Amino acid sequence: MFNLSGKVAVVTGGGSGIGQAISKLFARQGAHVEILDIDGQAAADTASAIVGAGGSAVGAPCDVSDAAGVKSAFGQIVGRRRRLDVLINNAGVAHVGNIERTSEDEFDRLYRVNVKGVFLCSQAVVPTMVGQGGGVILNMASIVSFIGVADRFAYAMSKGAVLTMTKSVAIDYVKYGVRCNCICPARIHTPFVDGFVKKNYPGREDEVLQQLAEYQPMGRMGTPDEVAYLALYLCSDEASFVTGQAYPLDGGVLNQ
């Protein structure tokens, strides 16, 4: 089950955290993984680790908010591999603040990466997927796509857009064999979270990390591997009847 042999998967933001966990798992399941990250060295390091473990991967720099860069990156991938079976739209940025404490520049930055990035990468792969008779797009949304969370105004805006883009792509391309779903995690403990807490709550890191853990009824944050396992299912042939859906991975948050 969940065999990805012969498939080509692209993972944005694959140099660390959730994207890295997905990249490594998909490679273990037989996929060739193309890792894109704004940090080109992180992408290359993740790819090297995969190759060192016997998998197949290539890492390259890519800013998902840059249209020309996205077009070039995906053009090179299709040129090398001649197909593209899976796109994981994982790259993203976060922000703390309500509407009064969100500047226009910050709002635009969240939109460029979290919304425009998903648009550009999805737009880049759809023609190839349609031409080859199918494929899978998996977007990384959030529980804030469903509910309000204090001081996450711009982030919630962006992830709400990811949810509706998911449903739009799913309905537009279902007849072409292209499936599109999204995962909606609660707090996932990644190096990004550690850096985010350190930047925004200096001197209160332990306190804030404990608060983030306790937000989930399970009393902890999720792990990148737990997200990767759900991603594997949704991108596998075993999920061939699933499209247009948003899957919470939330430790019980939405059940409160």
As annotated, the active-site residues are 155
Which helix or strand (DSSP H or E) is residue 12 part of? strand 8-12
Task: State residue 3 phi and psi, 5-degree precision.
Answer: -85, 125
**Range 160-169 burial, b when 16+ CB lie within 10 A, else e:** bbbbebbbeb
The span from the CA of 34 to the CA of 73, in Å, is 10
Contact 44, 59 (CB under 8 A): yes
What CA dihedral angle connects 194, 200, 202 and 204, to 10 degrees? -70
Contact 248, 45 (CB under 8 A): no
CB within 8 Å of 203: residues ≥ 6 apart: none
DSSP type of residue 188: B
Contact 227, 249 (CB under 8 A): yes
Which helix or strand (DSSP H or E) is residue 157 part of? helix 153-173
Contact 26, 230 (CB under 8 A): no
